[in-house]
């Protein structure tokens, strides 16, 4: 954290910081007002986020977050590559739950083209999406606890996450950024040993999560550092566009798996945890409860899983199986056409959103009939959740900024696209 | 339920906001309404405050560059009604010569950063926006990256690197 | 280098100062994790109980450059972020080493676009390049061992007469 001079700052940032209406009356005889820079390189800002704070002593009067330190140009690249080539890029958006983003992209393209994956592929996608939700919430809980001071919880939740990464290693072939889903299904089938390992994992997960929770749930330091910090009301939350656990911590029951169901979520039985206080502790509890509900969903999916194939049999739109490409002529020609010229969906546009662990991840695709999208917009939840930081930190101290950012759980790869 | 809304919304707009010409279209079960760019704030205010429709959540604001001479850009709004579980898309065309449109950040506060991003990427100005400056690119950057005439690898010399000293 | 083997009956052991210094330097490399994007998650995984980095001596992951020996640049570096990375690198005291973790830092990776620096060796001297997107944690441990071997080949005098870098007083932010 370094002191910033007033001449180096953009005039509009100065305006946002200094012209704020404040009804805070802090009795400060020394008149200690200064502008502090919580820079992009910081142990607790969850990535490269820069926050400029105007302080009166230690109380924050106004703040301006600045993004753009990880802007990689995804939307421009999507206009130059085919729909299949973009699948590995979607992994790196929300890099804590990569399979969830894969599912979102593939659902959007399938909606545009007008095809639907076979049932077994959809069930496998559900298992994989829920496990990635658990993995993302584990890191969120661990990082929040670490920011507040409890370092052991971070190591224990990461140990659980390593078990999930082992499962993905078996199913998808890669540990971390696995581009597993394909347009029309999934890349390869889930073997019985993988499903057995999933069953073993969910059987022993609940008590491990409880063990990690018992360290902090009744700990006075943890509760007092998060209780009443960063309160946002129901109307403000909807107006500022929050989605995901941050919105459900403020009392709004809005979950895209219930509101606009996709895959087979309308057949599953699960609760949506909602807490009404709207502070950081409520958002933390929402995440913990959501991890438990995800385990319930995985258990039901494992019971219902049908046998069948995992890739749709539509040769003009779906990449054929590799064994057939090497041996049959038709499949070879289709493979060549799809890889080089793309799948050519009809002219039109579509917006499709799913419930990411961080919020609502939406893809808006405009197609002109070619193999590449004419426009691809990524509606990323972390970008819009971060907009609420100036509203949340007003009136708190510097060390509360860390707790608030941790409870919002942003991921900069997604926010900066 | 959802079937009724596709007829209900255009009907309500015709009733309450007369003298507004708009078109509608539907693709893959999604309704799109096309407006004139000067009417957009009125329409958004009506859609948000109407007690039956209640479009409280503004999900996404973006723009499309068609790379044609007339009406080069189209600004697209996605709004969602939590009460009715219905998603609507609004579109407004913007010309290249007067490249600006009214800002809806007075209707939904979340439009603030989203419009800044559209300005950064496309160069479309927003009137009455409280804080219009670049979002992702550094302030000194002079081009608009997502326009179709900007190359993918960028323009050499537009962004600076620190010097390497051994 | 077991101490008991060197200790004779006189309770002395003899060595060169160089050997002692490089042994202590290479077995306690304190990294400064410059975690920017996805590779940072694998760097966090290196610290967790399964792929322990503490057993190699890098127990402390200091987030301040003034107290660290080695910088692991993990994640895509954009033009805006390059100035920040260089600033942090300049603040580290000598001797220092740099690991370029992942494909994005080595050569721009899968991002051939307008805002990504195609390789951080355009503005930083790099010692070890790691391949992978992201590299597995075992791979990062391999890179750490390579740095340790590289340190093992240096002498204490290599860092003696290095001139101090000319830092500008106010850097553009």
Q: Reduced to 3 DSSP states, what percent helix, strand and coil does chain A have, rounded to the nearest 5?
A: 50, 10, 35
Q: What's the gap in Å between the CA of B64 and the closest CA on chain A?
A: 7
State residue A179's pLDDT score. 87
Interface test with A, best of B28, B72, B105 (most A CBs within 10 A): B28
Q: Does C83 touch chain B (CB under 8 A)?
A: yes
Whether the per-residue pLDDT at B99 is higher than 80: the answer is yes
Chain B contact set for C112 (CB, 8 A): 152-153
**Nearest residue on chain B to A258, judged by CA atoms?**
B85
Chain A contact set for B137 (CB, 8 A): 68, 71
Q: What's the gap in Å between the CA of C113 and the closest CA on chain A?
A: 6
State residue A33's pLDDT score. 79
Domain boundaries, chain A: 74-312+343-415
Q: pLDDT tens-digit profile of B105-132?
A: 888 888 989 999 999 999 898 988 888 8
What distance in Å separates the CA atoms of residue A402 and residue A393, rounded to the nearest whole number? 10
Which of B162 and C117 is assigned the larger pLDDT?
A: C117
State residue A323's pLDDT score. 79
Q: pLDDT tens-digit profile of B6-56?
A: 788 888 878 877 777 778 888 888 888 888 888 888 888 888 888 888 888
State residue A1's pLDDT score. 47
State residue A56's pLDDT score. 81
State residue A21's pLDDT score. 62
Interface partners of A (3+ CB pairs, < 8 Å)? B, C
Report how far apart, in Å, the C-alpha atoms of A254 and of each of A285, A299, A359, B61 are: 16, 23, 10, 20
Chain A contact set for B109 (CB, 8 A): 239-241
Q: pLDDT tens-digit profile of C124-158?
A: 899 999 988 889 888 899 989 998 998 888 777 77
B28 and A254: CB-CB below 8 Å?
Answer: no
**Nearest residue on chain B to A366, judged by CA atoms?**
B64
SS3 string, A305-368, reads: CCCCCCECCCCCCCCCCHHHHHHCHHHHHHHHHHHHHCCCCCCEEEEEEEEECCEEEEEEEEEC
CATH of domain C33-154: 3.40.50.12280
Averaged pLDDT of chain B: 85
Concatenating the DSSP letter of every residue in A177-203 gives: S---EETTEESSPPPHHHHHHHHHHHH
**Nearest residue on chain C to B164, judged by CA atoms?**
C123
Interface test with B, best of A255, A351, A365, A376 (most B CBs within 10 A): A351
Does the CA dihedral B64-B66-B67-B69 come out positive or negative? negative
- C72 CB contacts (<8 Å, ≥6 apart)? C31, C32, C33, C34, C43, C99, C101, C140
Chain B contact set for C124 (CB, 8 A): 164
Question: What residues of chain A score a pLDDT lower than 50?
Answer: 1
Chain B contact set for A112 (CB, 8 A): 28
ipTM of the complex in this document: 0.91
- A313 CB contacts (<8 Å, ≥6 apart)? none
Q: pLDDT tens-digit profile of C70-79?
A: 899 998 999 8
State residue C45's pLDDT score. 86
C37 and A71: CB-CB below 8 Å?
Answer: no
Superfamily grouping for domain A74-312+343-415: Cytochrome-c3 Hydrogenase, chain B (1.10.645.10)
First CA to last CA across chain C, in angstroms?
48
B109 and A239: CB-CB below 8 Å?
Answer: yes
State residue C165's pLDDT score. 65
Chain A contact set for C88 (CB, 8 A): 41
Interface test with C, best of B160, B161, B166 (most C CBs within 10 A): B161
Closest Cβ opposite residue B27 in set A71, A348, A360: A348
Out of 3.40.50.300, 2.30.40.10, 3.30.460.80, 3.40.120.10, which CATH number does the structure's domain B2-99 have? 3.30.460.80
Q: What's the gap in Å between the CA of B111 and the closest CA on chain A?
A: 8
Q: pLDDT tens-digit profile of A16-30?
A: 777 766 555 555 566
Q: What's the gap in Å between the CA of B159 and the closest CA on chain A?
A: 13
B163 and C123: CB-CB below 8 Å?
Answer: yes
> What is the rounded average pLDDT of the residues B145-160?
85
**Strand ordering across the sheet containing A348-356:** A348-356, A359-367, A375-379
State residue B36's pLDDT score. 86
Domain boundaries, chain B: 2-99
C79 and B165: CB-CB below 8 Å?
Answer: no
State residue C98's pLDDT score. 92
Closest Cβ opposite residue C50 in set A69, A95, A159: A159
What distance in Å separates the CA atoms of residue A50 and residue B36, rounded to the nearest whole number? 38
B121 and A252: CB-CB below 8 Å?
Answer: no
């Amino acid at each position: 954290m370094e002191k910033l001079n007033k001449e180096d700052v953009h005039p509009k940032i100065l305006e946002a910081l200094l012209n704020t209406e404040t009804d805070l009356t802090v009795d400060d005889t020394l008149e200690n007002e200064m502008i502090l820079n919580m820079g992009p390189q910081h142990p607790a800002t969850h990535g490269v986020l820069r926050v400029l704070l105007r302080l009166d002593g230690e109380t924050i009067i106004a703040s301006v977050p600045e993004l753009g330190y990880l802007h990689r140009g995804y939307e421009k690249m999507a206009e130059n590559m085919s729909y299949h080539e973009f699948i590995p890029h979607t992994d790196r958006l929300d890099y804590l739950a990569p399979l969830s983003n894969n599912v979102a992209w593939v659902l959007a393209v399938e909606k545009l083209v007008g095809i639907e994956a076979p049932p077994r592929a959809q069930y496998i996608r559900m298992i994989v999406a829920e496990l990635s939700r658990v993995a993302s919430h584990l890191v969120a809980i661990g990082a929040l606890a670490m920011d507040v001071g409890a370092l052991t919880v971070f190591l224990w939740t990461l140990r659980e996450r390593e078990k999930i990464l082992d499962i993905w290693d078996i199913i998808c072939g890669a540990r971390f950024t696995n581009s597993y889903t394909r347009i029309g299904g999934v890349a390869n089938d889930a073997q019985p040993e993988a499903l057995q390992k999933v069953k073993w994992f969910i059987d022993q997960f609940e008590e491990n999560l409880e063990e990690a929770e018992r360290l902090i749930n009744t700990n006075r330091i943890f509760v007092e550092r998060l209780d009443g910090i960063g309160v946002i009301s129901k109307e403000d939350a909807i107006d500022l566009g929050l989605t995901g656990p941050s919105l459900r911590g403020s009392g709004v029951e809005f979950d895209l798996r219930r509101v606009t169901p996709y895959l087979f979520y309308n057949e599953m039985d699960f609760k949506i945890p909602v807490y009404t206080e709207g502070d950081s502790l409520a958002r933390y509890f929402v995440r913990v409860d959501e991890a438990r509900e995800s385990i319930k969903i995985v258990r039901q999916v494992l019971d219902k899983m049908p046998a069948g194939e995992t890739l749709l049999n539509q040769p003009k739109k779906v990449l054929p199986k590799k064994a057939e490409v090497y041996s049959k002529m038709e499949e070879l020609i289709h493979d060549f056409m799809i890889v080089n010229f793309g799948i050519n969906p009809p002219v039109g546009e579509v917006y499709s959103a799913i419930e990411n662990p961080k919020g609502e991840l939406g893809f808006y695709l405009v197609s002109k009939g070619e193999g590449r999208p004419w426009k691809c917009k990524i509606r990323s939840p972390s970008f819009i959740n971060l907009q609420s930081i100036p509203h949340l930190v007003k009136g708190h101290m510097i060390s509360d900024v860390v707790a608030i950012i941790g409870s919002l759980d942003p991921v900069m790869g997604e926010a900066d696209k | 339920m959802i079937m009724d809304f596709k007829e209900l919304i255009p009907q309500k707009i015709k009733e309450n906001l007369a003298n507004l010409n708009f078109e509608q279209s539907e693709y893959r079960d999604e309704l799109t309404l096309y407006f004139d760019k000067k009417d957009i704030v009125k329409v958004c205010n009506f859609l948000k405050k109407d007690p039956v429709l209640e479009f409280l959540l503004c999900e996404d604001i973006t723009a499309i560059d068609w790379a044609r001479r007339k009406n080069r850009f189209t600004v697209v709004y996605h709004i969602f009604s939590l009460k009715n579980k219905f998603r609507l898309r609004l579109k407004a065309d913007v010309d290249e010569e007067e490249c600006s449109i009214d800002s809806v950040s007075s209707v939904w506060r979340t439009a603030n950063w989203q419009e800044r991003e559209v300005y950064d990427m496309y160069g479309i100005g927003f009137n009455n926006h409280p804080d219009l400056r670049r979002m992702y690119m550094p302030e000194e950057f002079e081009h608009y990256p997502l326009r179709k005439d900007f190359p993918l690898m960028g323009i050499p010399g537009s962004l600076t690197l620190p010097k390497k000293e051994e | 280098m077991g101490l008991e083997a060197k200790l004779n009956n006189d309770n002395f052991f003899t060595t060169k100062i160089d050997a002692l210094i490089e042994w202590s330097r290479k077995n306690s490399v304190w990294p400064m994790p410059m975690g920017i994007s996805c590779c940072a998650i694998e760097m966090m995984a290196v610290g967790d109980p399964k792929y322990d980095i503490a057993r190699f001596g890098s127990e402390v992951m200091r987030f301040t450059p003034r107290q660290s020996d080695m910088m692991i640049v993990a994640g895509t570096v954009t033009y805006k972020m390059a100035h920040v990375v260089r600033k942090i690198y300049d603040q580290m005291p000598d001797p220092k080493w740099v690991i370029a973790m992942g494909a994005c830092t080595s050569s721009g990776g899968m991002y051939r676009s307008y805002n990504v620096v195609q390789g951080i060796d355009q503005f930083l001297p790099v010692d070890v390049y790691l391949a992978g997107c992201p590299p597995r944690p075992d791979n990062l441990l391999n890179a750490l061992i390579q740095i340790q071997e590289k340190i093992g080949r240096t002498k204490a005098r290599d860092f003696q007469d290095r001139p101090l870098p000319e830092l500008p007083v106010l850097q553009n932010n």
